C-alpha cells in the first residue's frame, strides 16, 4: 500500500575518520523513501532547487519512488554539512543552508491525499500539521521530530502528536520531549500526548517499541567499520514504516509479530545505511541481502 | 559445580530519588555470591571486620554459600557510600573506607583450590593474580575490573587477563581498556589480551557477548521504577557464572545456547537487583520468579 513521506531532500557534505564527501544526495525524506521502497510503493513530498539534477532524480526513479510531490523551486537545494568525531560518537554541524527549504509549504498532489500510510519526517511541526490537514484518512501516521522543534515549537508539536499513531524518535529526543530519563517512563509520557506507539531508536544500542501492553526491544548489529551514520535513523524509519505498509493491515489490526518484524526491518535498513557514505549502500540492496540481514538479527538476539 | 568468588564484602550507604539506606550489606562478592547461589554452590573469599555480625553472616548461610574463605580481621569492614542522581543515570561516591580491606591478602582454604569455576571480582589485579596462583586448574575463570585498575595498574591487569577465560565488564571500562569506542572493536582488542570471551554490560541498554565467531546481544528489561542500581553488575556476573557452573561443562564445550542462556540469566539477576535497595530483592527470589523473568526476556526480544 502506498506510503507517503514528507521531509527534506538535501545535499550533504560529510567528513569523518573514514573519509569525506563534499556533496551527495541526502535529506530525511530521501533516506526514508529509498529504505521504504524495498517494501512498498513510496511517494515523496518535498522541495528541491535548480541544482537538483537528473542524476539525483534518477535515484528516486530507480527505486520506483513517485516524485510528483517533489516541488522544484528557484534557488538552491537544502544543504547540510557535518563532521563526525574520531570515535563516530559525536556529530558537529558545520553549516546549514535552508535555501529553498526555508519557504517550503508542502502541497499534496490530489491523488496523494488518499495515501493509506503517511510519514511526517523531521520538519517544522506546523508543516507536519499542514500535511495532516490535506490527507483524507490515512490508516497509519508515523512521525519524527528533533530537539530544535521540541524546544522551540512545543505547542505546535503537541498538536501534531495528538493526531499521529506512531512516533519514531531517538533516545535523547524521547528524554527531552518527556522530561524523563528512564525510557520506559519517557515512552509512557509520550503516549499520553497522542501516539499509541512509540519507537525509541538507541543508535548502536538498538531500538525499542512501546505500545499498550507490549514492549519489544532489539539490539543493534555490532558493526566494526561504521563509515557514515548520516541518515541511519531515517533509514530505520523507512524500513519500519515500509514494512508495515507492505502488510496491508489497518492500524488496529497490526499484530504483535508484524510490529516486531517492522522494528527488525527498520534496524536492518539502518545497519546498511551506515556501511557506506550517504545512500551508497542503501541504494544497491537486493531482497536477498535484506532477508539475510534479517536473519542476522535473529542470530544475534535469539536464545533457546 | 562449585563456583569460587573473590571480592569485596562491604557495608554500603546509598541514597537516591527513591530513598536512602544508611548501612546495608553489600560488596561485589556479596552480590555475586547471592545471585550465583540460585544456580550452583558458591564459595566466597574476602575479608570482613568486627562489625560483621551474625545477621550478615546469615545472609550467606541462607543461600548455602560457604564462608570458610571469609576472613575476619580486627577493625571495620569495607565501607562505601554513594548518591544517585535524580534520573538514576549518574552515581557519585561520597565516601570509601577500605578498613580491613586495605591489607587484604586472599588466602584460599585448601579445598577451595580445586574449585572448577572461579570468578575474580573487581579487586587489585595483583590480588587477582595471587588467587590464580593458588588455584589448581579451574575449568573456567571469569573476572571483572574497573577504571581505577585500568588506569593505575595496567601491567598487573594485563597479567591477570592473560590467564582468564571470560572478562565481564561494562561499556565504559571496555572502551577505556581497549582504547576503542566501538564495542565490537573493543571486544576484539580485549580478546587479544587473553580472554576468549568478553561480556560487555551496557546498563539499561543490555549486554553483549563476544567470542570467536559468535556475537550475542540482549536488551535490558525496561524497568520504570529502578530503586537502587548498586550491585546490578555484580549480580549480572553472578547469574552468568552461576548458570555456566550449573551446566557442568568444561570451558571448551560451552555451547552457543548455554552461553546465550547465561547472558540472559545474568540479565535476569541484574534486573531483580535494581528493584529494591541492596540485596533486598535478590535475597528473596524463588526459582519460579527467576524462570518467569527468563521468559520475560524471551518475550521482550524474540520475533518470528
Reported ipTM: the value is: 0.91
Is the pLDDT at A114 greater than 90, yes or no?
A: yes
Q: Which residues 6+ apart lie within 8 Å of B62 measured at CB?
A: B283
Residues of chain A contacting residue B263, judged by C-beta atoms under 8 Å apart: 303
CA nearest to A303 within chain B: B260
Comparing C-alpha atoms, which of A92, A41, A115 is closest to residue A229?
Answer: A92
What would the grid cell of residue B128 be?
587477582
CB contact under 8 A, A217 and B301: yes
Please tell me the distance in Å from A226's CA to the nearest CA on chain B: 9
CB contacts, 8 Å: B223 with chain A? 182, 184
Residue A192, burial from CB neighbour count under 10 angstroms (0-12, 13-18, 19+): exposed
**Is the per-residue pLDDT at A261 higher than 90?**
yes
Distance in angstroms (rounded) separating the CA atoms of residues B191 and B197: 7
pLDDT value at A248 more than 90: no
Strand partners, B208: B200, B217
For residue B188, the chain A residues in CB contact (below 8 A) are 224
Partners of residue A223 in chain B, C-beta under 8 Å: 182, 184
CB B176 within 8 A of CB B150: yes
Pure H helices in A179-303: 183-191, 232-246, 256-273, 287-301
Does residue B253 surpass a pLDDT of 80? no
C-alpha separations of A75 from A72, A79, A97, B56, B208 in Å: 9, 12, 11, 75, 49
Measure the CA angle with vertex B150, ends B145 and B155; round to 5°.
110
- Other CB atoms within 10 Å distance of the CB of residue A180: 18
The yes-or-no verdict on residue B107 having pLDDT over 90 is yes
Q: Which three cell numbers stand for residue A215?
A: 514492549
Contact list in B for residue A217 (CB cut-off 8 A) is: 206, 219-220, 222, 300-301
Task: Mark yes or no for CB contact A303/B257 under 8 Å.
Answer: yes
The CA R_g of chain A, rounded to the nearest whole Å, is 18
Q: Please indicate whether, in this complex, the C-beta atoms of A303 and B264 are within 8 angstroms of each other.
A: yes
Of all residues in chain B, what percent carry a pLDDT higher than 90? 93
Contact check, Cβ <8 Å, A301/B261: no
C-beta atoms of A181 and B89 within 8 A: yes
Closest Cα partner for A124 from A17, A239, A6? A6
Please tell me what DSSP assigns to residue B40. S
Q: What pTM value is reported for the model?
A: 0.94
Counted across chains A and B, CB pairs separated by less than 8 A come out at 105
Residue closest to B47 by CA, chosen among B65, B62, B29, B64: B29
Q: Answer yes or no: is pLDDT of A95 > 90.
A: yes
Measured distance between the N- and C-terminal CA atoms of chain A, rounded to whole angstroms = 36
In this prediction, residue A251 carries a pLDDT of 66
Q: Give pLDDT, residue B89.
A: 81
Tell me whether residues B182 and A304 touch, CB distance under 8 A: no
pLDDT value, residue B86: 86
Q: What pLDDT score does B213 carry?
A: 84
Amino acid at each position: 500500500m502506498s506510503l507517503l513521506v514528507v521531509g527534506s531532500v538535501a545535499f550533504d557534505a560529510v567528513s569523518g575518520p573514514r573519509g569525506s564527501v563534499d556533496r551527495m544526495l541526502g535529506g530525511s525524506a530521501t533516506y526514508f523513501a529509498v529504505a521504504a521502497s524495498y517494501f512498498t510503493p513510496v511517494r515523496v513530498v518535498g522541495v528541491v532547487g535548480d541544482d537538483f539534477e537528473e542524476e539525483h532524480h534518477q535515484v528516486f526513479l530507480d527505486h520506483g519512488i513517485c516524485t510528483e510531490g517533489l516541488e522544484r523551486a528557484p534557488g538552491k537545494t537544502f544543504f547540510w554539512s557535518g563532521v563526525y568525531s574520531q570515535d563516530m560518537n559525536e556529530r558537529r554541524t558545520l553549516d546549514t543552508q535552508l535555501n529553498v527549504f526555508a519557504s517550503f509549504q508542502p502541497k499534496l498532489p490530489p491523488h496523494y491525499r488518499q495515501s493509506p500510510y503517511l510519514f511526517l519526517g523531521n520538519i517544522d511541526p506546523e508543516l507536519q500539521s499542514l500535511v495532516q490537514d490535506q490527507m483524507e484518512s490515512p490508516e497509519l501516521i508515523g512521525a519524527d521530530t528533533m530537539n530544535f522543534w521540541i524546544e522551540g515549537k512545543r505547542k505546535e508539536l503537541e498538536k501534531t502528536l495528538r493526531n499521529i499513531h506512531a512516533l519514531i524518535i531517538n533516545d535523547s529526543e524521547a528524554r527531552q520531549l518527556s522530561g524523563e530519563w528512564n525510557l520506559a517512563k519517557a515512552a509512557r509520557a509520550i503516549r499520553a500526548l497522542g501516539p499509541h506507539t512509540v519507537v525509541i531508536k538507541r543508535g548502536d544500542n538498538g531500538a525499542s517499541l512501546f505500545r499498550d501492553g507490549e514492549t519489544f526491544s532489539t539490539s543493534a548489529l555490532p558493526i566494526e567499520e561504521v563509515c557514515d551514520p548520516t541518515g541511519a535513523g531515517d533509514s530505520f524509519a523507512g524500513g519500519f514504516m515500509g514494512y508495515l505498509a507492505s502488510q496491508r493491515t489497518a492500524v488496529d489490526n497490526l499484530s504483535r509479530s508484524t510490529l516486531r518484524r517492522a522494528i527488525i526491518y527498520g534496524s536492518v535498513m539502518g545497519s546498511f545505511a551506515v556501511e557506506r557514505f550517504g545512500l551508497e549502500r542503501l541504494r544497491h540492496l537486493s531482497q536477498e541481502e535484506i532477508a539475510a540481514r534479517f536473519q542476522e538479527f535473529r542470530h544475534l538476539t535469539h536464545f533457546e
